[in-house]
Amino acid sequence: MKLLTTVLVTVATVFAQSSDRLPTTDAEKIADALRAGPAFITQDATLLDWPAAPGGEYRVLRKGSNEWTCLPGIPGYPHDEPGCFDRIFLRWMQDSLAGRTPQIESVGIAYMYIGAWVPDSSGKAHAPDHTFHVGPHIMIVSPHKNQDELQKLSHDGSSGMPYVAHLPGQTDLYLVMPIREWDERVAHQ
Q: Cα–Cα distance between 162 and 153 in angstroms, integer?
A: 8
Q: Amino acid identity, residue 155?
A: H
| pLDDT score of 15 | 34
- Measure Cα distances from 61 to 29, 69, 72, 167, 186 in Å: 8, 11, 10, 24, 29
* Spatial separation of the C-alpha atoms in residues 40 and 162, rounded to whole Å: 24
> What pLDDT sits at residue 6?
32
CA separation for the pair 73, 55 (Å, rounded): 17
Q: List, edge to edge, every strand of the sheet that includes 46-49.
A: 59-62, 46-49, 68-71, 83-86, 108-112, 137-141, 173-178, 163-166
pLDDT of residue 146: 59
Looking at residue 182, its pLDDT comes to 67
pLDDT of residue 125: 65
Alpha-carbon Rg for the chain in angstroms:
17
- Which regions of the chain are under pLDDT 50? 1-19, 186-189
173-178 and 163-166 beta bridge pairing: antiparallel
pLDDT for res 76: 86
pLDDT for the residue numbered 144: 66
Distance CA 178, CA 176 (A): 6
pLDDT of residue 14: 35
Query: What is the DSSP code (8-state) at residue 81?
Result: -
